[in-house]
Structure 1
C-alpha cells in the first residue's frame, strides 16, 4: 500500500517506521509539505491546531482514504464535530480516527507484548478495511467503536482520561476483550 504520512514527529514518524517495516511504501512529509498524488491512504499526524496549515502545504489531496491520528490539546473548533471531520472537509475521502489513544513512546515495545495491544478507532465504511489493515500492520489489535460520527468525537473527548492514566502509569498499552478471551 502507498501511504503518505503528514507529520514526521513521534506519532507520524513512528507509524511511518512501523509501516515501512511491514512492507508498505511510505512517504512522510514534515513542515515543508509535499505531493500526495498516488497515495492509497493519507495519514494526518500533526497537532490539532496545525491541521489547516499542514494540509495547505500538501498537493495531490483529493478523495484518498484518510486516517486522522491527531490529538486535541486546545479549544475545540465548533465548525466541525471533530478533527477528523475537519480533515475530511479538506481531503474529501472516507475518513477514520485512529492511533490517537496509543502512545508513540511505546511503539518500539509493541512486538514484545504477550498479546497484541488494542487500538480504538472509528471510521466511515469506506475507510474501515484500510484502517484495520494499518492497525494490524502497526502491531495492534483493531477495536472498532463505530462510524466516524459520533466515534471520532468520542475518541477525542477521551484524551483527558488517557492523559490522566499516563500521569500514573507512563505510556501504556490497553486491551479490550469479552470475558473468557484474555
Structure 2
C-alpha cells in the first residue's frame, strides 16, 4: 500500500520503519521539514517528503501528531479523496502534553474531536501501546503471547485496512467497534498500555470507566515519580496494570 506517516516522533518513526519493512511504500512528513526525519526511520526504505506533498495519491495516511493540532492540517486534507484511510494515533494528556481542551474535558471522545478538526473520518489505532512496546515487542502472527492493539472506526472497510496494518507491525489487531467507543482505549483505561493479548483485551475494554480512567490519567505524574530511576517498559506496563487492580 501507499502510506504516508505524518509526524516523525517515537510512534510515527516506529510505524514508518515497520510498515516499510513489511513491504509498503512509505513516505514520512514532518512539520519541521524532511530534514527533521531521523536517519534510522528511513533505513528500511521509507522516504522523507515535504508536508505539502505528502497526502496525494495515498491509500493510507497515519497521523502521529500531538493531540489537538489536527485542525492545522484541515486545508491540506481538503483535497484528499474520501477513500483514503486516515488513522489517528494521538492521546490527550491535558497539562502534560497539551493544553486543556474544553470539549474533550466535557466528554467528547478524543478521536471524534480529531475527526471534527480534520474535517473527515478517522480510525483510532496504535494509541494504546507504548512507543517502546511498538518498537521492540512486535512479533509474527501466531506467536504465543502476541500483544493486541485495539482499532476503532466507523467504516468497516477502513477499520479492516487499519487492522491489517497493525498486524504488519507485529501485533494482533482487535476490532474495537465504532469511533464513539474508542474512549475505551484512551488514557488511562485498563486496555491502555497494559500489553494484553487478544484473549485478554476485550474484557479490559469492557471494564473501562470514563471517570476512573480520567483520574488515573491525571495521576500519571505522581505514579511515574514513584517508579525507579530510568524505568523499564515492564515497570511502566506494571504501573498501568496496577492502577486497575
Q: Secondary structure at the match of 1:14?
A: helix
1:68 and 2:88 aligned:
yes
- Alignment match of 1:43 (pick from 49, 52, 62): 62
Q: Aligned equivalents of 2:61 and 2:20: distance in 1?
A: 15
Kindly provide the CA deviation profile for residues 143-163 of structure 1, in whole angstroms up to 9, marking residues without a partner as x.
Answer: 1121112x222222xx12469
Q: Secondary structure at the match of 1:47?
A: coil
Task: Flag the structure with more relative contact order, 1 or 2, with Cα contacts below 8 A and sequence separation at least 6.
Answer: 1
**What number of residue pairs does the alignment pair up?**
167
| Structure 1 outlier segments of 4+, above 4 Å | none
- Alignment match of 2:137 (pick from 99, 109, 117): 109
Query: Scaled by the length of structure 2, what TM-score is found?
Result: 0.60
When residues 100 and 66 of structure 1 are mapped into structure 2, their CA distance, relative to the original with a 3 A threshold, is same
When residues 57 and 17 of structure 1 are mapped into structure 2, their CA distance, relative to the original with a 3 A threshold, is farther
Kindly provide the CA deviation profile for residues 87-132 of structure 1, in whole angstroms up to 9, marking residues without a partner as x.
Answer: 3332524x21111111111222322874321001212223111011
RMSD: 2.7
Q: Secondary structure at the match of 2:57?
A: coil
Deviation at 1:12, TM superposition (A): 0.7
Q: Secondary structure at the match of 1:61?
A: coil
Q: Aligned equivalents of 2:137 and 2:182: distance in 1?
A: 26
Query: Scaled by the length of structure 1, what TM-score is found?
Result: 0.78
Structure 1 counterpart of 2:158: 127
Structure 1 counterpart of 2:29: 29
When residues 96 and 138 of structure 1 are mapped into structure 2, their CA distance, relative to the original with a 3 A threshold, is same
Unaligned runs of 5+ in 2: 34-50, 95-99, 201-245
Flag the structure with higher strand content: 1
Structure 1 counterpart of 2:168: 137
Matches within 5 A, 1:10-25: 10-25=10-25
